[in-house]
Amino acid sequence: MTDIRRPDDMARINSPALAQAFIEEQISAIRAQVGDKKVLLALSGGVDSSVVAALLIKAIGQNLVCVHVNHGLLRKGEPEQVIRVFRDEMKANLIYVDATDRFLDKLAGVSDPETKRKIIGGEFIEVFAEEARKLDGIEFLAQGTIWPDILESEAGIKAHHNAGGLPEDLNFELVEPVRILFKDEVRVVGKELGLPDNMVYRQPFPGPGLGVRCPGAITRDRLEAVRESDAILREEFEKNGLAGKVWQYFTVVPDFKSTGVKDGKRTFDWPCIIRAINTTDVMEVTVEHLPDELIDHLVSRIIAEVPGINRVLYDFTPKPPATVEYE
Ligand code: XMP
């Protein structure tokens, strides 16, 4: 199943009927591949792994074992949503691992961006592998590989490391039910499978999560300021009809302080930077200009509601020269 390719003449899945046909086809293919064996899936809550989970739940029910690792760098409400949608509503066999302390302890004092990424990636594999070893009789690993991953890895643009990284004793056969789909098709299929819109149309979110938006050495209080300000930004974008329109938007809380004044007293706190961008390929990015009233409202909410912030800044820099993320 792992060398299946997208047929050249395959119609773009852009309607509920085509999505339904794809779902039926995949359910048969999954059942034929795995029979009554168990399948393991790292469920991040991102679009691709969520759609894979929903497909496998339909195909094999309780024989799918989902593992949701909370590395402490997820956005506000994300782990709760994964549990609600998959365990409570879809009745999935879901193992939730809160590894926040483990990740944050390892990251304490580490300021180099690449080292931070390596620690987060490496620790993720370790936590997942530990959970996998606790389970008996699992022969398959499901992955949310999509067609652009295959094309990019064949073109040598990006190492496709979905599969990579697991220790050698964990030698699973891969199940990749959305492997021949483009991202827009994955969303149509996800919608047809009944996943909520804020999961299906979710903005891109980097694997290292809020860790790259808390530049330098991560501290719990500054990370919390990133998480809370991000939640306010997302809420306001949803209220103002920008959530489905702007490609990616988030906040960053850099590791420096400036003076301010609150209730007649001097403060010495962090700034919060808002970034909102549009793009098609993420190679070149333009900045979304927000209405003045919305900026004013965001400034007052963030200052009033997020401890440790005394200034709000807006990033007007396109890519190039700036990257989307701060590290
Ligand atoms: P940059 O900052 O390189 O970001 O302009 C381009 C896009 O990639 C996302 N990004 C990542 N995604 N792991 C990911 O899965 C990462 O380490 C990572 N770094 C950046 C970023 O959010 C943007 O959409």
Does position 156 have pLDDT exceeding 90, yes or no? no
> 98 CA distance to ligand 1 centroid (A)?
24
Residue 2 binned pLDDT confidence (cut-offs 50, 70, 90) = low
Q: What percent of the chain has pLDDT over 90?
A: 91
> 185 CA distance to ligand 1 centroid (A)?
21
Span 188-232, pLDDT tens digits = 999 999 999 999 999 999 999 999 999 999 999 999 999 999 999
Residue 153 binned pLDDT confidence (cut-offs 50, 70, 90) = confident
Q: Whose CA is nearest to atom 12 of ligand 1?
A: 206
Does position 1 have pLDDT exceeding 70, yes or no? no
Is the beta carbon of 327 within 6 A of some atom in ligand 1?
A: no
Is the beta carbon of 126 within 6 A of some atom in ligand 1?
A: no
**Residue 50 CB neighbour total at 10 angstroms:** 27
Q: Is the pTM of this model over 0.85?
A: yes
Listed range (160-174, 211-225, 262-276) with the worst mean pLDDT: 160-174
Q: What is the mean pLDDT of the chain?
A: 95
What ligand 1 atom has the least distance to the C-alpha of 248? Answer: 24
Between CA 48 and CA 59 the distance in angstroms is 17
> 206 CA distance to ligand 1 centroid (A)?
5
Residues 295, 323: contact at Cβ < 8 Å? no
Residues 272, 306: contact at Cβ < 8 Å? yes
Closest CA to 90 of 207, 199, 205: 199
Span 54-81, pLDDT tens digits = 999 999 999 999 999 999 999 999 999 9
Sheet strand arrangement including 93-98: 93-98, 64-70, 38-42, 138-142, 173-175
